[in-house]
Amino acid sequence: MFDVSPDGRMLYVSNEEDAALTAFDLVARRKAFEVKVGGEPEGVKVSADGKTVYVTSEVANLVHVVDVASRRVVKNVQVGKRPRRFLLAGNELWVSNELDGSVSVIGLGDHTVKNTIRFLPQGMRPEDVTPVGMALSPDGRTVYVGLGRANHVAAVDVASRQVKGYVLVGKRAGGLGLSRDGSRLYVANGLSDDMTVVDTTSFRATKTIRVGRVPHTVVVDD
C-alpha cells in the first residue's frame, strides 16, 4: 500500500519483501530514505501535517509510528491480529485487524489504543469476521467497515464507538468507497466478483453490479 504527503511531494510505500517503509521524493524523482519495520508491512497513512507516517506490520501485530524528520520508528503500538488498513478520523487513527474481528482506535496525541471495536453480524461465526477496508462519512460521524468473509458492512458511530448496524452485501466485502456527498457507499466483493451499492441513509443495499474477477479496491470520482 502507499500514501502521499499532504503537499504532494513525498510518496510512502510499504515494502513487504524488505520489511521496510520506502519514501520517494516525487519532485526530485528519487528515493529519499527507507525505514525498517516489522514483517509483512501493508497499511500506510501519512498524518494531516505530514510529519508522521504510520505503517502496519501484519506479522508483529504492530502499528509503527515513523517520524519523517528523524527518519526512524519512534513508537510501536500493539493492536489486534494482522492489522491491515488505516483511517484518520479527527484526532484518531483507526486500524482494521483482519484476524481479530476488530478495529483499534489510536489517539494521535500519545499514540495509545483508546478503544477496540468488535464486530459480529447476526448469524455469522466470529472467525468469518475479517475487517479490512474502511471509509469515513463526509461529516466525520460514521465509519463504515467491510467485514470480509462475513459478507457484511458495519456502520460505526465515531463518537460513541457503537456499531449502529450491519448491511448484507456480496461475498468477502473488502474495499469501500463513498460518493462525494456520502449518500452512497460502494463495496467491492472479492469472492462474488461484483460491487454492492448501499444507500447510507436507509443503510440498505440498493444494487449489485457485476465487475471483473476478484475486485479489491474502489475509487469514486463523482
- Compute the distance between CA of residue 195 and CA of residue 73 in angstroms, rounded to an integer: 38
CB distance 114 to 104 below 8 Å: no
pTM: 0.94
- pLDDT, tens digit, 9 for 90 and up, residues 61-76: 999 999 999 999 999 9
pLDDT at 222 > cutoff 80: no
The rounded distance, in Å, linking the Cα atoms of 69 and 73 is 11
Report pLDDT digits (tens) over 85-123: 999 999 999 999 999 999 999 999 999 999 999 999 999
Residue 34 pLDDT greater than 90, yes or no: yes
